[in-house]
Amino acid sequence: ASTTLGAGTYDSYLWSTGDTTSTVTISSAGTFSVTVTDELGCSGETAVEVTETAELMPQIIGQLAFCSGASTTLSAGTFESYLWSTGEVAPTITVSSAGAYSVTVTDGQGCSGEAAVEVARDDVPDAMIIASAPGACAGESLELLGSGGNEYTWLDGSGTLEITGPATAAVSPEGPTVYSLIASNACGADTADIELSILPAPEVSLSEVPRLRASESFPLLASGADRYEWIPGSFLDCPDCPDPVVTPDSSVTYLVIGIDENGCRDTASLFVEVLDKDAPLIDPVNTITPNGDGVNDFFVIPELAFYPDHKLSIFNRWGDVVYESRDYQGDWDGTYKGKELPAGTYLYVLVVEVAGEPYAIRKTITVIRE
């Protein structure tokens, strides 16, 4: 900005700026003097101190957000004059539309300044919920994402869950559950609901595996899921296939994780037994149901025909012998001296001759009675 200094009416003038006119325009602060001379040749001098006022920095004051259908008032403070971007020239204006607003103000000394603000319009909330999945796997959680407001409160159908503040909530429904979201802002509140269910878990089943010799291969098979992971992956040609081929050097237990299309999981385990190089390939049944229906009534050891020199002893839980034979014909039906033994698990020791040496197999047989 600038200011104009005048020295009155004389015949001649000489300003400290070098000007020789009756007036000078000054755009900087400082001391300015002028020497004047009248028509008689008389002269005189005077000086004045010019100061520079600080730049005007007005502020627009008012509520910078308002609800739909309402308005807000903006004020620019106290100055000599105003010019708003709306064309208005008053100290305050009322606006009912969102957008940018500015004002240029001028004070009594002719100095001016400008300010601008952005005014937003808030609508009444429109609550919305998005779930990370259509339902939760049993025992697992999922995330709910809320939108439409500035503040949120989550509730479940029973009212036992209440989370205030975050737009997201991690929930673990134990059954079909309705979750509610209250989205609010300064203009009001709205509610949205979402119903979540418990997704059925897959049921992983594994095929049986005979006892193997070291480095002997056998196909394994898992079913009941869409994807699988075998842990550990050792001895397998494909640890993430449903049907890997195992070629073990030693006995190993596999944990199989099955995952369905919803991401739900089930696990099953499988023991692959690798026999000693001299161990007999004998694989008796481990359960009998002696009820006379002709199915699984007897403890059968099909491979025993290849080992004529053998001895089978069966013991109860107290170590008493309840059956013994040196020429077993697959005819033990869970009895002792013609009387039925209680249902339960019994230890048996089968000694066979391998390469001229005795080899003992110690396992259990379970008797089930209905």
- With a CB cutoff of 8 Å and minimum separation 6, the contacts of 55 are 111, 113
Contact between 242 and 229 under an 8 Å Cβ cutoff? The reply is no
For residue 326, what are the CA distances in angstroms to 225, 310, 313, 334? Answer: 47, 6, 9, 18
Task: Give domain status of residue 192, yes or no.
Answer: yes
Q: Is 163 helix (H, G, I), strand (E, B) or coil?
A: strand
Domain's final residue, options 78, 100, 122:
122
Same domain (yes/no): 294, 353:
yes
Q: Can you tell me the distance from the alpha carbon of 324 to that of 226, in angstroms, rounded to the nearest whole number?
A: 48
**Can you give the length of the chain in residues?**
370
Same domain (yes/no): 297, 351:
yes
> What digits encode the pLDDT tens for the residues 205-242?
999 888 788 888 999 999 999 999 999 999 999 999 99
Task: Give domain status of residue 166, yes or no.
Answer: yes
pLDDT value of position 149: 87
Same domain (yes/no): 85, 105:
yes
Query: Tokens 């898992």 — which residue?
Result: 222
Task: Give domain status of residue 55, yes or no.
Answer: no
Q: Can you tell me the distance from the alpha carbon of 276 to that of 131, in angstroms, rounded to the nearest whole number?
A: 54
Task: Give domain status of residue 72, yes or no.
Answer: yes
Same domain (yes/no): 85, 108:
yes
Same domain (yes/no): 100, 148:
no
User: Could you tell me the CATH number of the domain that includes residue 356?
Assistant: 2.60.40
Q: Structural domain tally of the chain?
A: 5
Same domain (yes/no): 175, 209:
no
Say how many C-beta atoms besides its own lie within 10 A of residue 338's C-beta: 5
Q: Can you tell me the distance from the alpha carbon of 270 to that of 56, in angstroms, rounded to the nearest whole number?
A: 83
User: Could you tell me the CATH number of the domain that includes residue 248?
Assistant: 2.60.40.10
Q: Residue 252: which of 233, 225, 229 has the closest Cα?
A: 233
Same domain (yes/no): 359, 292:
yes
Residues of the chain with pLDDT under 70: 1, 159-165
Task: Give domain status of residue 187, yes or no.
Answer: yes
Task: Give domain status of residue 56, yes or no.
Answer: no
Task: Give domain status of residue 60, yes or no.
Answer: no
pLDDT value of position 210: 80
Alpha-helix residue ranges (DSSP H) falling in 239-351? none
Domain's final residue, options 86, 107, 122:
122
pTM above 0.85, yes or no: no
The range of the structural domain enclosing residue 298 comes to 287-367
Task: Give domain status of residue 112, yes or no.
Answer: yes
Domain's final residue, options 74, 107, 122:
122
pLDDT value of position 213: 81
Q: In the structure encoding, which two tokens stand for residue 336, read together?
A: 């002792």
Computed on alpha carbons and rounded to an integer, the radius of gyration of the chain in Å comes to: 49
pLDDT value of position 162: 65
pLDDT value of position 159: 66
